[in-house]
Chains A and B, each alone.
Chain A
Amino acid sequence: MMDRVKNWFSSDSSRGLTLIGLPFGFSLLLLAAPMLLIFFLGFWTQDYLDLDRSFSLDNYIEAWSEPMYRDLMLRSLGISATVTLATVMLAYPMAYFISFHGGNRKALWLFLVTIPFWTSYLLRVFLWKVILGYNGVLNSALDWLGVIEEPLTFILYNANAVIITLTHAWAPFAILPIYVALEKIDRSYLEAAADLGDGPLKSFLRITLPLSMTGVVGAALIIFIPTIGDYVTPKLVGGKDGLMIANVIQVQFMKANNAPLGASLAVSAMGIVSMISLVFLALNRRWLRKRGS
């Protein structure tokens, strides 16, 4: 018995668990516990300065029935979905270009693609305001070129501005995973397809795209889920019509001092986004299986 205990302690299994114990404990304490608390907080009620800890569904009912919150939630989902789609559609050809035509400059291209994203996020968003504004860079340039008579106004202080800015902000998070997936594709499959008479489009649809879907799915999830909670972009460039759910969550926690309502909004947003992601994953799996057979 003692031997067995001793053996286990010097085994790979225990060494691994001992090592990972600290980071795991840290995450349990600072991630799992806070998440659980937020979940419960939604069922409590703010009673001026005190918390009423008796179970109540009022916050959730308000979060789901109040038209303002419903509109914000739907708009946030719409913006997130559009941003995800636009970013992946733009990033795919870029990643494809780097992977298939990058030659010995692949590392340089990847470096170039990531550099802009290490500059201050706040300033990047603010500079989009400068670009898209009434007297902004884009309008000045278009006016100078004679393309427009009147400055374009549909590109700032609305959902479009939020979409443009976020599509820019999340680019590397789409380019990198898609690139990694494309790099892994065995090029001899493509040669075989060409030898057997498949044209470029056909071999792309039948080989490259299905094999790179893992990267596309990874990119979609890593963009879709966090963008729903973006606070800075809607606040700076969204105006009144471009506000998102994070802005109202922040108000509930800070100014309105109604943390339970804020928590129920946050939990609802995360729940909806997770459900959509799971459906998306399942659909993708089915599509890949159909391709495979």
Chain B
Amino acid sequence: MNSNKNTLKVFAYSYLIFLYAPVLLLPIFAFNDSTIISFPLNSFTFEWFAGLTQETYLQESLKNSLFVAISTSILSTCLGILASRASARYEFFGKKSILSFLILPLFLPEIIIGVALLVVLMQLGLPLSLWTVILGHTLVCTPFSIAILNSAFANMDMSLEEASLDLGETRFGTFKRVILPMVSPGLISSLLICFTISLDEFIIAFFLTGTETTLPVYIWGQLRFPAKLPGVMALGFLMLLLSLVLLSLFEYFRRRMNRSAEDKTNVQFDNLFKT
């Protein structure tokens, strides 16, 4: 039995190396003083980071991406609140089918979503803009928001809500003053995850973007020019750091959310894969 465990452990660590291999290369090439992305390495440099400040187009797309990601995270989380509150608290006709339909985008190739939305927009004669990207991203992010918030709402003690209603608070007041504060760690987790997904999403943005591009679309354009690659590595490294900060925050709020719950392990992913 023990040898079994050790074999598994060796496997787990090797698998972890496989999973981290590309990520670990990012900082190496971001600081490597060579325009060619390969070994052997040259000396250490900050040049590529300094170069990023010169790229006006990059800053423009970063601004666009932040706008898209913030709007997407707010919209998805609002839709997520409505759907998961309904699912956790009420029984109604067609509940299961409606919820499976809402998380369907998770199972669809992004290119299908991108293409389908593009066709609709073209048929309606609507111009492509950052808002069309936001709509597409909201569709993809809402399932994640629902999964996270479902566990937050399900773990909530219903007697507190009843107490508030009994004491004369209105339904809306109860929602605002009792329910929302109790699920706030879940809300923040949802905002962070949707923000991170949207910031990195490429295919839908590629199809739905107009003249203003998002950061991944900008990076896609840069990948064709070998001379731009070291700068892209530096940019990627900065984005990696940002993701790490956001994810650590997410983990912190997830733990706070689950502290009161009985099941302390990844409840929200449980919800995600239940259907």
| Residues in A lying within 8 Å of B, measured CB to CB | 12-17, 19-24, 26-27, 30-35, 37-38, 41, 90, 93-94, 96-98, 101, 106-107, 109-116, 118-124, 126-128, 130-131, 133, 135-137, 140, 168, 171, 176-177, 179-180, 183, 200, 215, 218, 221-222, 225-232, 236, 246, 249-250, 253, 259, 262-263, 266, 270
Contacts and interface: CB of A to CB of B under 8 A. Distances in A.
A123 B102 contact: no
Task: With a 10 A CB-CB cut-off, give which of A15, A31, A123, A200 has the most chain B CB atoms.
Answer: A123
A122 B220 contact: yes
B219 A94 contact: no
Contact of B236 (A20, A123, A140, A249): A123
The 5 closest A-B pairs by CB, nearest first: A229-B109, A16-B90, A34-B116, A16-B92, A127-B22
A37 B273 contact: no
Contact of B106 (A22, A200, A222, A249): A222
A33 B120 contact: yes
B21 A131 contact: yes
Given A16-B87, A19-B90, 10 more contacts: A23-B83, A32-B101, A37-B120, A93-B8, A101-B5, A116-B22, A176-B266, A228-B109, A266-B111, A266-B112
Contacts of B172: none
Interface stretch (B10-18, B50-58, B66-74, B157-165): B10-18
A130 B25 contact: yes
A183 B266 CA distance: 10
Nearest to A221: B107
B113 interface: yes
B109 A38 contact: no
Nearest to A15: B90
Interface string B22-33: 110110010000
B266 A126 contact: no
Nearest to A219: B273
Contact of B89 (A16, A24, A262): A16
Interface band, chain B? 35 or more
A60 to B, nearest CB: 17
A134 to B, nearest CB: 9
A26 B79 contact: yes
A94 B98 contact: no
A35 B25 contact: no
A264 B98 CA distance: 27
A122 B16 contact: no
Contact of A116 (B5, B19, B236): B19
A246 B111 contact: yes
Contacts of A98: 12
Contacts of B123: 37
A150 B190 CA distance: 49
A269 to B, nearest CB: 8
A34 B117 contact: yes
B191 to A, nearest CB: 15
A94 B15 contact: yes
A149 B1 CA distance: 41
B266 A110 contact: yes
Contact of A246 (B101, B109, B139): B109
Given A17-B92, A37-B123, A263-B115, A123 B26 contact: yes
Nearest to B21: A131
Contacts of A112: 16
B63 interface: no
A182 to B, nearest CB: 11
